[in-house]
Chain A
Amino acid sequence: MTTRNGSALTRRLDRILKGHAWFVYLFFYLPILVLIVFSFNESRFFTWEALSLRWYRQMFANDNLMAALWASLQVAAISTVISTVLGTAAALALERYKRWLGKRTFDALLYLPVIIPDVTMAAMLLVFFTSLGQQLSITTIVLSHIAFNISFVSIVVRARLANLDPALEEAAADLYAGRWQAFRRITLPLIMPGVLGGALLALTLSLDDVVITQFVKGPDTLPTFVFGLIKRGVTPEINAVSTLMLTASVVLVLSSLALQRRN
């Protein structure tokens, strides 16, 4: 495209760009690959010994780790469902209804959790729960995750709604579909990729969060548990957990891409 006049200089520039791109991909993937490879290493140290599932067995036998994994899954599932419903309703209110009381304030309020630094959000939620006399538990983790996920879901759904032709919904209304019927039959199926995309993002963010969870946690989630392990030192068991978490992320990316592809 840019190299229409294929002079020697542009060709050389293109080669440099290509080399740079390969280098960046190496930078992205080398660390991840090293983790995966060494998670299958028999040795405790970072010298290759033999292929083994030893660290995976140890991981599944670690009760604390399994409890943390279970807590993570519960938190992620509940907070994703609730924030997807609330975030989608919020997106509809902002994109489909021109004027209503407090719309501008709500719009700003909905953006803040996205730009606020993790540490600030973590600190204020801890202070909030404590000053209410609320015991920190799995509930406070879920409540906090919903608080940041609503915004991310609504951003994704709004992007989808903005690209939709409102005429489709109006046509449904003209054909005497009730509001609910028009929503269920027309709007919802059309925005479904956005809703699912938002839900996947919420799921990922919830499964990844360390900072906020660490402040408001009762029991450990998988990331806070692993964070604790890492601070105590590097072990192949962490490599195994990491590989498990990496696999989960890759599955999530691929499903979100598949969703986009379908539309």
Chain B
Amino acid sequence: MTTDGPVTAELEAAADRAESRRGLFLALPSYIYLLFLFALPLLIIGVYSFASRSRTGMPKLEGWNLDSITKLFTDDLIRSIFARSLIVAVLTTVFCLLVGYPFAYYIATRSEKMRNILLVFVMIPFWTNFLVRTYAWRVLLGEDGLITALGRFLNLWDSMLFTLPAVYIGLVYGFLPFMVLPLYASIERLDWSLVEAARDLYASGWVAFRKVTLPLTKQGIIAGSILVFIPSLGAYVTPDILGGAKTTLIGNYVVNQFLTARNWPLGSSLSMAIMMVMLVATVFYFRSGAKTL
């Protein structure tokens, strides 16, 4: 054994190299694919943010400038749209959390059989076509929709279609499952003996919840919040179908820049800006101790 030490080391190194080659070889097709159809396009709109706009709206690869980027911070319209989108995304996240937490708590504290059944009924909307689910609210909130009829009957509200409340309803409806599933996972994992210990030490139900349950399910709260916040901030379909001209969000504005106004440099810098906010949110998420999405 003593004499063949170096030989073994060499063999191991060779095995390591072979291992490394195989790993790379397996990843290579998707690696190349994502470099070409993801990294490169991302780089291109990064570069286009500095381009100037030609008469057709296409970026000119000359006359590099910071116009579209400074516009993000100085243009009143863009600033107000950005601010509105941030508020909408934050409030949607808060609403989902307020509705989703007691809901997930209820499911997680049922018997195992009941839990599975209740969960399936959360999974169905989760997997259901987003466009169709948003469209359903257009029907309900419209002039002769059920919710409008109810509001008129109660004398509380009229048709909410094309207003901000309709956008909120649509977003909460669309993204609530993203909040419920991680919350459920963290509450279900909770060690209930800790809550009982707190109760035994004469903590009231509320104090036990605030000091034990809530901190122990922090992971789920953060995961759910990020999963709701990210798509809410970039939302385009929901405000487009349920909102009106006064409820334009940043997602709609970006789409307009590309498909209607044809100002690609501005559209590029706007989409980079949204991307940056997402990256910050995601880094924050992983910092909080999460391993996966």
- From A17, A102, A116, A230, B24 is in contact (CB under 8 Å) with A102
Which B residues from 222 to 247 make CB contacts under 8 A with A? 230-231, 233-234, 236-237, 240-241
- From B41, B122, B195, A125 is in contact (CB under 8 Å) with B41
- CA A262 to CA B197, docked complex, whole Å: 38
Q: Given A20-B106, A117-B231, A125-B37: A34 and B30 within 8 A (CB)?
A: no
- For residue B118, which residues in chain A have a CB less than 8 angstroms away from its CB? 21
- CA A211 to CA B126, docked complex, whole Å: 18
> CB distance B27 to A120 under 8 Å?
no
6 other A-B residue contacts (CB within 8 Å) besides A99-B19, A110-B34, A126-B258: A2-B109, A109-B38, A118-B234, A125-B37, A234-B135, A249-B124
- CA A26 to CA B128, docked complex, whole Å: 16
A109-137 vs B, Cβ < 8 Å mask (1 yes, 0 no) = 11111111111101111111011000000
B12-48 vs A, Cβ < 8 Å mask (1 yes, 0 no) = 0000100111111011011101110111111011001
- For residue B146, which residues in chain A have a CB less than 8 angstroms away from its CB? 30, 34
- CA A154 to CA B102, docked complex, whole Å: 32
Is A74 in the interface zone, CB < 8 Å from B? no
- For residue A117, which residues in chain B have a CB less than 8 angstroms away from its CB? 230-231, 233-234, 251, 271, 274-275, 278
Which stretch in B1-9, B66-74, B136-144 binds the other chain?
A: B136-144
- CA A239 to CA B230, docked complex, whole Å: 29
- CA A160 to CA B26, docked complex, whole Å: 18
- For residue A102, which residues in chain B have a CB less than 8 angstroms away from its CB? 24, 31
- For residue B48, which residues in chain A have a CB less than 8 angstroms away from its CB? 127
> CB distance B29 to A86 under 8 Å?
yes
Q: Given A20-B103, A211-B236: A28 and B271 within 8 A (CB)?
A: no
> CB distance A17 to B102 under 8 Å?
yes
- For residue A204, which residues in chain B have a CB less than 8 angstroms away from its CB? 127
Is B292 in the interface zone, CB < 8 Å from A? yes
- From A28, A150, A211, B30 is in contact (CB under 8 Å) with A150
Identify the A interface with B (CB < 8 A). 1-2, 4-5, 9-10, 13, 17-18, 20-21, 24-25, 27-32, 34-35, 38, 45-47, 86-87, 89-90, 92-94, 96-103, 106, 109-120, 122-128, 130-131, 143-144, 146-147, 150, 154-155, 159, 179, 204, 207-208, 210-211, 214-215, 223, 226-227, 230-231, 234, 238-239, 242, 245-246, 248-250, 252-253, 256-257
- From B45, B136, B137, B192, A127 is in contact (CB under 8 Å) with B45
CB distance from B6 to the nearest CB of A (A): 22
